[in-house]
Structure 1
Amino acid sequence: MNQHPAMWGHPMTPHQAFNAHTAFPLATPNPMRNQHASSPVSHTQQPLVTGTSVLGLKYKDGVMLAADNLASYGSLARFRDIQRLHPLGNHTCLAVSGDMSDYQYLKKELDGLLREEEALSLSDSHPALHPSQIYAFLANLFYARRSKVNPIWNAILVGGWDATKEESFLGYVDLLGTTYSSPTLATGFGSHIAQPLLREAFEKKAGIDGKGELLTAEEAEALLNECMKVLFYRDARSLNKYQIATVTKEGVQISESKSAETQWGFAEALRGYGAQQQ
């Protein structure tokens, strides 16, 4: 006999059967176990842990990408050993700025996509994804998420070597789904500070139309080193510890972390630094 007060004076039906241990109807889900089932869907309103500018440059033998190893928690230089260059397959590399959690999501999605493509290639000689195809996938993914008012809070450079066309590839995608390609690219603060330096050096060697001789590997690396040093001077969210990825027809190589030689002696003559002169 059911002794629950709600059942007093009423015959018990199968739908009114009670669990003696929980005092909840068995036919009704336990509301304590489903307290989040009707919660509103929430989206990331703003990035929290972020990486700053990344740079990209086409050179004679392929593409070079550069990114520092800092992930900032607001204005706190919190994580100082983050690799923001991620290889995809044998001939593609990502350079990612923006939210680091969204970057982790992208790595998981893209690595899974490549595993599926690799499995297909074993069964029917399916060709590997070219950099331009990965770029097109990211462009559609970013635009779809933007259209759902749930953007991926990143700006990405996709660099690689297209084995079919025998040429290098460099493209840009951001959280709004904006896409374009250029021989020199930069994100964030680097688009204001480093991009003019990259463009000037590129056009000086290859011409405005880019049809001349491109920079050599040594010249391209020296240029990126100089740009990363300038960004360290000017960007409060940057770090003088960075990596450079080189993508050629031989594959993807990511350097060990390095630092540029800097000089801060000029700061002593500036008001607000060092000893004050009357």
Structure 2
Amino acid sequence: MNHAPEEWGRPRNDIYGNYNPAFHNATPSAHTQQPSITGTSVLAIKYDSGVMLAADNLGSYGSLARFTDIERLIKVGEETVVGISGDVSDMQHIELVLEKLMIKDNYEQDGHRLRAPHVYEYLSRLMYNRRSKVDPLWNAILVAGRKDDGSPFLAYVDLLGVTYSAPTLGTGYGAYLAVPLLRKLVSDEGDEKNVTKDQARAALDQCMKVLFYRDARSLDKYTVACVDNTGAVSIETGVRCEDMSWRFAENIRGYGTQKM
């Protein structure tokens, strides 16, 4: 007698055809339910002649600072920069998808060039499509560049497909700690016309320092990218927070009222 489970009570081959046991080796589909290696905040601000972004280089495995050389500002095409926070493996997937998109666009050779608004619309559809499949890409994304008329472009999309635009944006912890600092410089649409490139850079440097002080999943090494109104992209890597000091914390003794 054959005691193999696949033989129990199955229909006869001469009536129903040959039995296919391959399904016993099939594995159920699995969706990522929570990120493993993650990157924290991405910050961006418009200024009078472009957009500037900053993101640190840390990849955290839970509370472990696992990788310190993760680049999360990605140049897409000739005049667009995409900053991604969240799951690093999903970020690498998005990077591969965008690379294929650029290759396909270059093959067309029709004189049309994908700019930041086009990349942003593509990513918003991609994120919403994955969310609708209950298999989201665990990322928040900032897209920076310029519009067809040369004006600065900056917009946000997250794992739910939520989209919006603002002159200052942040993801992760930076949306709570850094964006209020950036809004002191650019509080409303149009204010960026009064902000120079040097002022925008100083504001981002200050915010990255604050995040290193306050965000346990951040690093003092970061990357800064800039897209000006001509479409030129410059990316500066290996930037370090300067004049760091922890003297303010030397008298802290836990929480609540305590005798020093």
Task: Please say whether Structure 1 and Structure 2 have the same fold, judged by a TM-score greater than 0.5.
Answer: yes
Q: TM-score range by the shorter chain?
A: 0.7 to 0.9
TM-score (norm 1): 0.82
- The aligned counterpart of 2:234 is 253
Q: CA RMSD, aligned part only?
A: 2.2
8 A contact 2:39–2:88 mirrored in 1: yes
8 A contact 2:186–2:192 mirrored in 1: no
TM-score (norm 2): 0.87
Q: 2:224 aligns with which of 235, 238, 244?
A: 244
Judged with a 3 Å threshold, the aligned counterparts in structure 2 of structure 1 residues 209 and 127 are, in CA distance, closer, same or farther, namely: closer
More deviation in 137-146 or 258-267?
Answer: 258-267
1:222 corresponds to 2:210: no
More deviation in 96-105 or 259-268?
Answer: 259-268
- The aligned counterpart of 2:248 is 266
Give matches, 1:82-101, under 5 Å: 82-101=70-89
1:156 corresponds to 2:141: yes
- The aligned counterpart of 2:106 is 118
- The aligned counterpart of 1:23 is none
The CA distance in 2 between the partners of 1:154 and 1:255, in whole Å, is 23
- The aligned counterpart of 2:127 is 142
1:214 deviation in Å?
3.0
The CA distance in 2 between the partners of 1:169 and 1:36, in whole Å, is 50
Q: 1:47 aligns with which of 35, 38, 42?
A: 35
- The aligned counterpart of 1:210 is 190
Long gaps (5+) in structure 2: 1-12
Deviations 1:17-53 (A, max 9, x none): xxxxxxxxxx77674xx7543x211100101100001
- Percent identical pairs in the alignment equals 49
Long gaps (5+) in structure 1: 1-14, 17-26
The higher radius of gyration belongs to: 1
- The aligned counterpart of 1:165 is 149
- The aligned counterpart of 1:174 is 158
- 3-state SS, counterpart of residue 53 of structure 2: strand
8 A contact 1:232–1:238 mirrored in 2: yes
1:210 deviation in Å?
2.0
The CA distance in 2 between the partners of 1:155 and 1:40, in whole Å, is 28
- 3-state SS, counterpart of residue 87 of structure 1: strand
The CA distance in 2 between the partners of 1:103 and 1:171, in whole Å, is 17
The CA distance in 2 between the partners of 1:51 and 1:177, in whole Å, is 19
Give the paired residue count. 242
Deviations 1:134-160 (A, max 9, x none): 101111111111111111100000001
Deviations 1:172-191 (A, max 9, x none): 00000000011100011111
8 A contact 1:50–1:73 mirrored in 2: yes
8 A contact 2:116–2:153 mirrored in 1: yes
8 A contact 1:117–1:126 mirrored in 2: no
The CA distance in 2 between the partners of 1:55 and 1:147, in whole Å, is 27
The CA distance in 2 between the partners of 1:242 and 1:212, in whole Å, is 23
The CA distance in 2 between the partners of 1:209 and 1:73, in whole Å, is 37
Q: 1:184 aligns with which of 161, 168, 171?
A: 168
